[in-house]
Homo-oligomer: A and B are copies of this chain.
Amino acid sequence: MEQKVLDPTVQKALVQFKALDEKITHFSSVIGLVDWDQKVMAPKKGRSVFAKATGTLRTEVFKLSVSQEMGNLLAVLTSRENVGALDEVSKAKIREYQAYYQKSKSIPADLFQEYSILTAQANDAWEEARANNDFARFLPYLEKIIDFKRKFAEIYGYEEHPYDALLDEFEPGLTVKKLDPLFAKLRESSVNLLDRIQQAGKRTPDEIFNQSFEIEKQKEFNRFILPIIGFDMEAGRLDETVHPFAQSVNTGDVRLTTRYLENNVRSAMFGTIHEAGHGIYEQHVNPEFEESVLQSGASFGIHESQSRFLENMVGRSKEFWHYFYPHLKKYFPKQLENVEVDEFYRAVNTIKPSFIRVEADELTYNLHIMIRYEIEKGLMAGEFEAKDLPAIWNQKMQDYLGITPSSDTEGVLQDVHWSFGGIGYFPSYSLGNLYAAQILRTIQKDIPDFYKIIANGRFDLIQAWLKEKIHQYGKLYTPNELIVKVTGEELNAEYLVQYLEKKYSEVYGL
């Protein structure tokens, strides 16, 4: 086998690049840990001062990422004559920094600073607006954020649609041109399926959940299932927050949070399984990628595919509950006394249009995303302005879900994302569902007994497959490369459409 011999200049640049990557990643790990701390552990009086300390760290990461040193190293390492000699891992690292550098180096420092201050203020304004159902309070900030995003899109550059420049931040390579047909197909079939479910008039026994479930028992059950479904408790934690999330520090330290509600036992249960999907992904990344930019999941969409896969395809399957329901009954014998497992299964798969995205079921969830996608796309194209959003929001809710919010608090003001400038983020959630269904199809080919092994509680076999095919690679591949490598084709909405059709036809006896 011929060994590639690197030019000494390239060799030297590679060593310097790796040291810079390691430094940036060390800083990022620390930022991840302290972000978790401030949400989960920090006493409230110290948070505002500490935010300035983390601001200093974030600025340092930004400066290193767009530094002259980084620019020079990337220039050497991406030059046509050198790139062929590089190994796959180095190329992937260079790709990640190159993308960020190309975008961010053109943002003038004072514009970035102004934008950072704006989003900090906008978040406070949004919180007040939501609490008081007062869209006007948030509007001036939203308008400025949209102005910034339009400016950034021009600076970042795009080929067809200005929204592409933002989508690419969350899902590298994603464009409106790719997303439109995927989402159109999913939207049409979802609206149609929802219509048929509602026409059928059949109900699931979800009144099971109109009972009180002791929080201490819920905690015990959540801690009981986590290691069984594959989360390594010696390489992670489970804590409580108002908004559940997963935060990876490194592959040996992944932290999940969940939320316990006495009158809603589903919230913590599926919240924990969902975050475990994110967390197991991070625990399974190849340890050789640690201390490098490759140490995390491939993209927001691929990440979401892993949480959705575990939450819905696995965690809301009949077989999952055939395995876990006898255990659950031990924790809640009184509440579940007269409830059979198949009733319970149907109850956790209730389809019901509702106003709040984070509480939506597996089918209508994607319709909530479509609404946000269409709004963001229209805003970026200049088809309408921020002030028009409440009316557009309510109209789309009526069109897709058949219900109209009675307030902006349960409508256009419900999500935090726009207040921190996260335009382009929402599609990741539905991409996750699309990826997940496509991965489900593939795993069922490799493991024909897929649902049988779930019924037997052999989640280790499923996790081993996910680790081998997806998790271990971290950011080595782009999301598109990865899905093709795993499933043999690019993202195809057909799999999710068929999955939903099949599952809910059975649940609702269509």
Contacts and interface: CB of A to CB of B under 8 A. Distances in A.
A30 B43 contact: no
Nearest to A30: B53
A171 interface: no
A251 B45 CA distance: 8
Contact of A47 (B48, B52, B252, B254): B252
A234 to B, nearest CB: 5
Given A30-B54, A56-B27, A43 B291 contact: no
Contacts of A43: 233-237, 252-254
B234 A50 contact: no
Given A43-B234, A232-B45, A236-B43, A27 B253 contact: no
A53 B253 CA distance: 13
A458 interface: no
A56 B61 CA distance: 13
Contacts of A52: 26, 291
B291 A253 contact: no
Nearest to A236: B43
A105 interface: no
Contact of A56 (B26, B41, B234, B290): B26
Contacts of A254: 43, 46
Interface string A262-291: 000000000000000000000000000011
A357 to B, nearest CB: 31
A57 interface: yes
A443 interface: no
**Interface of chain A, helix or strand or loop or mixed?**
helix
Given A50-B249, A54-B30, A45 B290 contact: no
Interface in A20-53: 22-23, 25-27, 29-30, 33-34, 37, 41-50, 52-53
Contacts of A233: 43
A250 interface: yes
Contacts of A25: 53
Given A33-B37, A49-B291, A57 B27 contact: yes
B250 A56 contact: no
A50 B27 contact: no
A47 B46 CA distance: 25
Nearest to A31: B30
A298 to B, nearest CB: 21
A52 B34 CA distance: 16
A53 B252 CA distance: 13
Nearest to A234: B45
Interface string A233-248: 1111100000000000
Nearest to A53: B26
Given A29-B50, A33-B37, A54-B30, A44 B250 contact: no
A253 B33 contact: no
A46 B252 contact: yes
A37 B249 CA distance: 12
Contacts of A42: 249, 253
A233 B45 CA distance: 9
A41 B236 CA distance: 10
Contact of A34 (B34, B44, B48, B250): B34
Interface string A382-407: 00000000000000000000000000
Interface in A183-242: 232-237
A367 to B, nearest CB: 38
A53 to B, nearest CB: 4
Given A41-B237, A43-B234, A45-B234, A23 B251 contact: no
A234 B43 CA distance: 6
Given A34-B34, A37-B37, A253 B57 contact: no
A46 B253 contact: yes
7 closest cross-chain pairs (CB), A and B: A46-B253, A46-B252, A45-B252, A26-B53, A26-B56, A45-B235, A29-B53
18 contacts: A25-B53, A26-B52, A27-B56, A29-B53, A30-B53, A30-B54, A33-B37, A33-B50, A34-B34, A37-B37, A41-B41, A43-B234, A45-B235, A46-B252, A49-B290, A49-B291, A50-B250, A50-B253
